[in-house]
Amino acid sequence: MVDVRGVSRTFHRGRTPVPVLKGLSLQMEKGEFLALMGPSGSGKSTLLNLIAGLDRPTGGEVIVGGSEIHLLSERKLAGWRSRNVGFVFQFSNLLGALSAERNVAVPLLLTSFSARERRRRVDIALEIVGLSERGKHRPRELSGGEQQRVGIARALVNDPMLLVCDEPTGDLDRTTSAEILDLLVALNRDHGKTILMVTHDPVAAERASRTLHLEDGRLAEGGDDGTVAVPVHEPAGAAV
Amino acid sequence: MRLGSFIRQCQAVTRYNLETIWERRAVSVVAIFGIAGVVGVMVAVLSMAAGFRAVVTGQARDDVAVVLRSGATGASDSILNHQDIQVLWEAPGVARGPDGPLVSPELFVIIDRKKIGAGTDANVPLRGVEAAGFALREQFEIVEGRNFEPGRNEVIVGDGAAGAFEGLQVGDRIDVGRASWEVVGRFTNGGGVAESEIWTDNRILQQMYQRGNSWNIALVRLREAEAFEGFEAALTDDPRVSLGAERQTTHMAAQSEPIEAFISVVGWIIVVMMSAGAVFAALNTMYAAVSSRSREIATLRALGFSRLPVVVSVMIESLVFGLIGAAAGGAASWFLFDGFRAATINWASFSQVAFAFQVTPELLVQGTTLALVIGAIGGFLPAVGAARRSVVGALREQ
């Protein structure tokens, strides 16, 4: 489902080019839960951003769900993201003035769903993350773990083909992290969600069906040759 | 982007921005206060010009001609003799009343009076009128006391003059040169410039100022406004006289123009300088507003929102600040200045004109327009900056 071919990404610090990804290739199957690990500056977040359509490569190809997203204009890329990618951020990035259910509904504003359908999807997404009773609460009235669950519900509500998680447990304590990882595993196993997760945490990476390590803009082991690990969890159908 | 999606995105981001204004109230108030200040000053200053214009030109009519000595620009540098007035009586197009032609020859002198509050001397017009003068001014009304009796040293005082200068209440006496005049009445004239004057009997004033049988100015009521051209041509073509005529509306507009222009120019200079400050306040506010939400804006863009709705929403927020500022500034100037009475010198006659500030709907519209311009300028750069910001970079901010 994800096919990254010889991708490079170079940033510029002043006039000095700083290559972050150096001709990296990887593939990901539908229903896979893939963890990307590596030291700071290794390029894992840059790779996640390219696959999620938040950034475009300097060279190479990024094909997700059959779309050559490296060729899309910025406007079309925004539309593609809204339909195909669910984002889970490290700090949940909820809109502070909105209730949990209104936060979850934000991606649906980009669709043509009726108000009733939007309401239905929000209810289902909140139910999946176990926060049906907390929909009226604002983010500051929720714990860190609950905020991250709302962030996951927001990522799910459009039923995207790919869930990208950038350090989803990086701001949480060990117990809460475990709960969030349990939820991601359940989404992968029970709802068939394809998940790409960047993490520093080996414990988190262990919950994924496959882990790739990046070093200095390249895959450190496996993956470079296109091999794909078999998912540990069997997908069981769409979420919402 | 489809229009429906664009509108939904704009609504969503704008609604969110507006819902969070209260959380940013401290910095928002700075922008609103700055814009309100500009609008308040602009409306206040221009309401002075509007009030002055209304007083000077408000009672002017197209079917009334002002006749002066040819080449004169106002009553103070004009002189008319008896033959001039006879020519006016016989001129074509002149309306007639029960007592004959509606021609009002008037003598116009300046006396000193102390301004109430300031205590400094100011020039007050003392006008000699006769029966035709009252017939020409249909809104003339004695509101206190009585009219002067011809042949006696009595004066009546305009309502504006009575409120602006000392010693002009009914029962007071005015000493001018060797003469002493009794104030026997107070009058109004529909709010016009005449209310800034003192009136007395033409003959008495001529004697007092040794003017013989001469006047400074004549007002002539025409049968209809269209009769003016024929009336003016007759005066110009008559070899016995050297007179010039203008419609009263034209004459009074020219009288009002110098001071009105001065107030407007000075006012706009102040407004432009204040506007620059308000623009910087708005810029600062909107940069702070955008900065405080940079991660939220980046999140929305990551979720698929486009740049343009972000620009539109920030602009709308800034324009809302402009509207609130306009409402506050306009309301403040209306409460503080509408109807505020003042007197200033009319450079055309070198005499004081009492007037009331007028906060008109047109001025409030102008103030609102200015506020929206300030809001638009103040919001544009932050809006573009927010939209151009790297999503990935903004998402990393804590």
| Angle in degrees, CA B102, B104, B109, rounded to 5 | 170
Task: Specify if B133 maps to a domain.
Answer: yes
- B204 and B87 housed in the same domain: yes
Number of other residues whose CB lies within 10 A of the CB of residue B162: 24
Q: Per mean pLDDT, which range of A83-87, B64-68, B148-152, B275-279 is the poorest?
A: B275-279
Average pLDDT along chain B: 87
Residue B298: list chain A partners with CB under 8 A.
Answer: 93
Look at residue A236 in the predicted model and tell me its pLDDT: 41
Shared-domain flag, residues B75 and B217: yes
B178 and B299 co-located in one domain: no
- Does some domain include residue B247? no
Query: Mind telling me how many Å the CA of B11 is from chain A's nearest CA?
Result: 9
**pTM for the model:** 0.70
Look up the domain containing B118 and give its range. 71-241
* Closest C-alpha among B319, B293, B277, B331 to residue B30: B277
Lowest mean pLDDT among A15-29, A81-95, A208-222, B8-22: B8-22
- pLDDT interval class at A70 (50, 70, 90): very high
**Whether B218 and B365 share a structural domain:** no
Select the residue of B8, B12, B302 nearest A81 (Cβ to Cβ).
B302
CB A215 within 8 A of CB A99: no
Out of B180, B207, B241, pick the residue that ends a domain. Answer: B241
**Buried b / exposed e along A76-103 (16+ C-beta atoms within 10 A):** ebbbbbbbbbbbbbbbbbbbebbbbbbb
Query: Are B79 and B16 found together in one domain?
Result: no
- B190 assigned to some structural domain: yes
Q: Does B3 touch chain A (CB under 8 A)?
A: no
User: Average pLDDT in the A153-166 region?
Assistant: 93
| CB pair distance less than 8 Å for A78 and B12 | no
Residue B249 located in a structural domain: no
Residues B49 and B77 in one domain: no
pLDDT at B28 over 60: yes
B34/B144 same-domain check: no
Q: Report yes or no on B250 lying in a domain.
A: no
Using an 8 Å Cβ cutoff, are A150 and A104 in contact?
yes
What is the C-alpha separation between B352 and B125, in angstroms, rounded?
7
For residue A197, the model assigns a pLDDT of: 95
Best mutation target, B299, B308, B311, B390, to test chain A (most A CBs within 10 A): B299
Query: Which of A55, A78, A112 lies nearest to residue B301, judging by beta carbons?
Result: A78
Q: Between chains, do A79 and B304 touch, taking CB under 8 Å as contact? A: yes
pLDDT confidence of residue B72: 87
User: Beta strands of chain B (E only): which ranges?
Assistant: 64-69, 96-97, 100-101, 103-114, 121-129, 140-145, 154-158, 173-176, 179-189, 198-201, 217-221, 243-247, 341-346, 351-356
In a domain, B64, yes or no: no
Residue B17's pLDDT is what?
Answer: 79
**Residue B76 sits in the same domain as residue B212:** yes
Q: Residue A151: its pLDDT value, please? A: 94
Same domain, B80 and B13: no
Taking the C-alpha atoms of B33, B38, B39 and B44 in order, what is their torsion angle to the nearest 10 degrees? Answer: 120
Residues B154 and B107 in one domain: yes
For each of the domains in chain A, give its residue range(s) and CATH number, in order of start. 31-58+73-212 (3.40.50.300)
The answer, for B1 touching chain A at a CB cutoff of 8 Å, is: yes
pLDDT value of residue A239: 41
Same-domain check for residues B7 and B117: no
Number of structural domains (chain B) is: 2
* Closest Cα in chain A to B12: A109
Question: Tokens 């001129």 sit at which residue?
Answer: B91
- Residues of B327-363 as b/e, b for ≥16 C-beta within 10 angstroms? bbbbbbbbeebbebeebbebebbebbbbbbbbbbeeb
Do B293 and B377 have their domain in common? yes
Establish if B65 belongs to a structural domain.
Answer: no
pLDDT in the model for residue A92:
85
Q: Does B306 touch chain A (CB under 8 A)?
A: yes
**Averaged over B315-328, what is the pLDDT?**
91
pLDDT tens-digit series, residues B254-274: 888 888 888 888 888 888 888
Domain ends where: B206, B241, B276? B241
Flag whether B225 is in a domain.
yes
